[in-house]
């Protein structure tokens, strides 16, 4: 069932569009991330969902009821939504218990029910021991858990999160993105999460909306976004990639150091030129062989010109016969020296044809 329906929404500031033609159906209990660089329009879109900003065009509906349009906007306090801001916005003069209980008290929930629900929630977020402490006495991760608990305990229709982990250090961010997903799995609240961090979006989301310059580039699962990016922007923003250009020659596309039968790239069947994305970890590196392997792999000869060790993998820069470069990421036990002659194995299933890149 569709919980939140966003249809052709746009928002302008003067003559400058901040969001253009944004459409998305969010299912009940789904976790959606709006992902993109600063200025791409993701926070503007979140604030339109929350009711803080009215759309210049398009509509937003919750459970089939219109809540936002250019002519009418339902106030935020009547939307049954909770929002967590980058600054957490927890009350410094209230204890952990009081912060978490605050929303229930506003809703006139009986004291005995408040005590029970707050106790259960503090157990879920592992803050029972800290119940009587004030925010200044908590770590950043604990403060974030208080904000999560306060937002979730009122059982909102939709939970909105705006860059909630950006103030935490790297280790805490990694811990908290798992915590956010764990809480979502437990409470199944429809969630819209804004972030510029691809790892947060990949770990937490059911689907990711990648945005650039106010427009949607791609909407898909984390796996599909990574394995089959639709555009050059998505391919480069989500992880690292090699961009390879091929030109049609008869029944094949010719790339710098290899060719592929055009029927192996069916989505490019009508093109004279194509650009594909190839992730570095999809490139196999083996000692130089005399003949290519059989099957769906293609093999390219090259030589190692640079390398970097990251503990869990090696990155190799491989120069091909035409002096073009390809980056490969391989297991840490596959060690090659600069100057080694190698063969690169590429699985055609791992090549993604980009819809917006023809040159």
User: Following DSSP, what letter does each residue of 63-82 receive, concatenated?
Assistant: TTEEEEETTEE--GGGS-EE
- Give yes or no: residues 193 and 336 share one domain: no
Domain final position from 187, 207, 235 = 235
Residue length of the chain: 359
pLDDT tens digit string along 96-105?
999 999 999 9
Low pLDDT (below 70) residues in the chain: 269, 290-296, 357-359
Q: 358 in a domain, yes or no?
A: no
Residue-wise over 165-195: b if at least 16 C-beta within 10 A, else e?
A: beebeeebbeebbebbbebbeebebbbbbbb
- Structural domain includes residue 279: yes
Q: Residue 203 sits in a domain of what CATH number?
A: 3.40.50.300
What pLDDT, on the 0 to 100 scale, is given for residue 63? 95
| Domain-embedded: residue 20 | yes
Domain of 79, in residue numbers: 2-235
Domain end residue (candidates: 185, 209, 235)? 235
Are 211 and 248 found together in one domain? no
Is 292 in the same domain as 212?
no
pLDDT value at residue 67:
97
> 221 and 260, same structural domain?
no
Residues 18 and 154 in one domain: yes
Q: What is the CATH number of the domain that holds 303?
A: 2.40.50.140
Check whether residue 130 and residue 253 sit in a common domain: no
Domain check: are 114 and 139 in the same one?
A: yes
Cα-flanking dihedrals φ and ψ of residue 219, to 5°?
-125, 120
Last residue of a domain, one of 184, 202, 235: 235
Are 202 and 263 members of one domain? no
Evaluate whether 271 touches 252 at the Cβ level (below 8 Å).
no
Distances (CA, A) of 38 to 67, 187, 204: 27, 30, 20
Residue 359: inside a domain: no
188 in the same domain as 91 = yes
In a domain, 119, yes or no: yes
176 and 248 housed in the same domain: no
The DSSP secondary structure of 195-230, one letter per residue, reads ES-HHHHHHH-SEEEEEETTEEEEEE-HHHHHHS-S
| Residue 213 resides in a domain | yes
Q: By 3-state DSSP, what share of the chain in percent is helix, strand and coil, each rounded to 5?
A: 30, 35, 35
Does residue 43 sit in the same domain as residue 97? Answer: yes
The verdict on 47 and 84 lying in the same domain is yes
């Amino acid at each position: 069932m569709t919980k939140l329906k966003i249809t052709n929404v746009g928002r302008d500031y003067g003559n400058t569009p901040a969001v253009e033609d944004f459409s998305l159906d969010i299912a009940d209990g789904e976790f959606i991330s709006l992902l993109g660089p600063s200025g791409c329009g993701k926070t503007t879109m979140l604030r339109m969902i929350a009711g803080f900003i009215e759309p210049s065009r398009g509509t937003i509906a919750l459970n089939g009821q219109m809540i936002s349009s250019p002519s009418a906007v339902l106030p935020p306090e009547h939307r049954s939504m909770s929002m967590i801001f980058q600054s957490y916005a927890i009350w410094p003069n209230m204890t952990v218990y009081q912060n978490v209980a605050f929303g229930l008290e506003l809703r006139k929930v009986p004291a005995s029910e408040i005590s029970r629900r707050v106790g259960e929630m503090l157990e879920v977020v592992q803050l029972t021991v800290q119940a009587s402490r004030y925010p200044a006495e908590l770590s950043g991760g604990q403060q974030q858990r208080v904000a999560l608990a306060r937002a979730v305990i009122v059982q909102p229709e939709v939970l909105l999160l705006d860059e909630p982990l950006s103030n935490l250090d790297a280790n805490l961010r990694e811990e908290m993105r798992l915590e956010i997903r764990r809480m979502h799995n437990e409470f199944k609240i429809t969630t819209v999460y804004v972030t510029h961090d691809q790892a947060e979006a990949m770990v937490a989301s059911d689907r990711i909306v990648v945005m650039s310059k106010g427009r949607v580039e791609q909407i898909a699962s984390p796996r599909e976004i990574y394995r089959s990016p639709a555009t050059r922007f998505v391919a480069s923003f989500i992880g690292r990639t090699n961009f390879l250009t091929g030109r049609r020659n008869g029944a094949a596309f010719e790339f710098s150091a290899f060719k592929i039968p055009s029927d192996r790239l069916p989505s490019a069947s009508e093109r004279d030129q194509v650009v594909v994305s190839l992730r570095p970890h999809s490139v196999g590196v083996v000692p130089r062989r005399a003949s290519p392997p059989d099957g769906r792999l293609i093999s390219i000869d090259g030589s190692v010109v640079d390398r970097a060790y990251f503990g869990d993998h090696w990155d190799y820069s491989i120069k091909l016969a035409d002096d073009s470069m390809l980056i490969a990421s391989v297991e840490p036990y596959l060690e090659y020296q600069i100057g080694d002659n190698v063969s690169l194995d590429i699985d055609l299933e791992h090549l993604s044809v980009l819809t917006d890149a023809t040159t």
